[in-house]
Chains A and B, each alone.
Chain A
């Protein structure tokens, strides 16, 4: 079975997160009971994901380097590396050793008694909030492809759990056609290790006029009639069998029952997702690999 090798310090895996920071991300949404730009909500979720990767690597003897981490932002100002100034991968121990700026986030919580409170949580700001200009997704995809190609070529990673690339966007590429997007996505999909191909997960965020939302579809028939949804379906990876139970857990009970027996495969994508769905999908992406 592919995608089954354990993640160890000797055979680490890799995560590449691509974040759309184009002007459309200024759109206001409601997240955790508060109205805010989509860019702020995505930043909170992405920073939480980076935190989670560091937390999961923490043992009694310190933070272990079970994976390499890269974060790419793309906006009207171009394609930029967000957690490593040199544009390379960084590691959990390096991140944990750096004292990053923190921000407080006030949000509504409903306690079991039904009482509503305003909770204040502190979040590490590994990446800052931004929403400007066009969407150079092709440029970002090329950068992601270069990173995973380099990573997979290293002999030390030959038997590693394959990399996971997560693309978070609310729109289409403005620097290339759909065919160009497919071509570069195929480049990402061709990389991998002896344990399988790189997983490419695409999460499309809803806009105000959004229609039906789909997460981890098992066939194109589940998609709304929208060509961009079909493009994302085509370029996203088929999720390995080991993810099936986790994926089933994020669908509603009703849908989960209707899915029995489970479909043969799910695509790693979401269309018109709300921010809660983004957080759930990213959590799945970080949890499934078995870490020593």
Chain B
């Protein structure tokens, strides 16, 4: 089946006859109007839900094909790196009906919802308050995260402040594994190229290796340290999608 639209997923999840292959007791969270709550990315929509123990979890439903997904998530589930969330890919998990008339089983990525604030939001808030101390803390925490990341045999592939969560215990963790490089993908082309403001100018699908996090890591670290010195840089150079302007 062609990848469904977000509307197709919503239409399927809202329906009492929604069919899951393995999941049970999925209570999708809704807003005050009764509409399904979700947020979208470039390739998927993420729906929050409560399981039977009232724990908050998420379903990631894809609107674009990604041939590496099963390989990547099998690796993540097996290796369980400390700086990644506990997630799993459930193959052909949800039966989706499309407005175009098609219907079929779609893979979903499912896992525990990572509570916290994105590094982007935390840095923006600290910069707005001119809180240099907090920005220094975030810069230091990010550098620590990078040291752990560089020691791993894999690369995240879409390193950006929105994909880093500052947990309530102040630990930083990465989210969104879709663009990961793992050793099993050596020699293959990337399915995703990261996010332009943080992507190396010469990064291509063919240049897919353990090194793809180097450039964004340097950029984000420099940006955070720069903000820690001069928080007003954020307001001066805010282009919506950058931590600070790309130099």
Contacts and interface: CB of A to CB of B under 8 A. Distances in A.
Interface of A: 6, 8-10, 32, 44-45, 48, 51-52, 55-61, 64, 109-112, 117, 119-122, 245, 249-250, 276-277, 279-280, 283, 286-287, 290-292
B83 interface: no
B2 interface: yes
A276 B101 contact: yes
B40 A10 contact: no
Contacts of A51: 7
Interface residues of B, number: 36
Nearest to B192: A290
A119 B196 contact: no
Contact of A8 (B3, B17, B64, B240): B240
Closest 3 CB pairs between A and B?
A279-B100, A276-B101, A55-B6
B2 to A, nearest CB: 5
B42 A292 contact: yes
Contact of B97 (A45, A109, A291): A109
Contact of B2 (A45, A117, A121, A280): A280
Interface of B: 2-3, 5-7, 10-11, 14-15, 17, 19, 38-40, 42, 45, 63-65, 95, 97-103, 105, 118, 121, 195-197, 239-241
Contact of A55 (B10, B97, B98, B99): B10
B14 to A, nearest CB: 7
A57 B41 CA distance: 8
Nearest to B240: A9
6 contacts: A55-B38, A56-B6, A112-B95, A121-B14, A283-B100, A292-B196
B100 A55 contact: no
A112 B19 contact: yes
- Most chain B CB within 10 A, of A8, A64, A117, is at A8
A8 B241 contact: yes
B239 A10 contact: yes
A287 B40 contact: no
Nearest to A10: B239
Given A10-B241, A56-B40, A112-B19, A287 B63 contact: yes
Contact of A292 (B17, B45, B195): B195
A8 B2 CA distance: 26
Contacts of B239: 8, 10
Given A60-B39, A121-B15, A291-B42, A52 B6 contact: yes
Nearest to A8: B241
A249 B63 CA distance: 13
B225 to A, nearest CB: 24
Contacts of B45: 55
Contact of B17 (A6, A56, A61, A109): A109
Contact of B100 (A58, A112, A277): A277
Nearest to B92: A112
Contacts of A122: 14
Given A58-B38, A58-B39, A276 B2 contact: no
Given A6-B196, A250-B2, A292-B42, A110 B241 contact: no
Given A6-B196, A60-B118, A109 B103 contact: yes
B190 to A, nearest CB: 13
